[in-house]
Amino acid sequence: MDHQSAAELFSSFVDGDLGATEKSDLEHHLAICIQCRTELEEFRRAVGGLGRLKHAAPDSFLPQIQEQIFLRSRGRFFGRRWKLFGRIPFEWVSLAMIIAMLVYYILHLRGAPTGVQPVP
């Protein structure tokens, strides 16, 4: 077993999800490889550190993130809604244009001659 394949099994090894053969192969590799043992301990410390994070985000966290996105996007996201229905989706504009073209087409055909008469 090489270092890369051993490192890929660390998460399953810590969670206890490895099969018997994979577990024994990894344990054998860890017994002879100091680099992988060190990396496994660093992985365990990182996962343990993440598990101890139990503080909830402050109430101002989400509004601050939204404000940063608003400023960096120059108002394209989380913008102030000044229209009656908010922002108009592109699909609605497209649908309105299709309906307008259909109405124009129908009105234009209504005024067109219905038949062609030969010239005498």
Q: Mind listing the pLDDT tens digit for each residue in 25-84?
A: 888 988 998 998 999 999 888 888 777 777 777 888 888 988 888 888 776 776 665 555
CA distances from 104 to 108, 113, 115 (A): 6, 16, 20
Quick one: three-class SS letters along 51-103? HCCCCCCCCCHHHHHHHHHHHHCCCCCCCCCCCCCCCCCHHHHHHHHHHHHHH
Class of domain 1-80 (CATH, top level): mainly alpha
pTM over 0.75: no
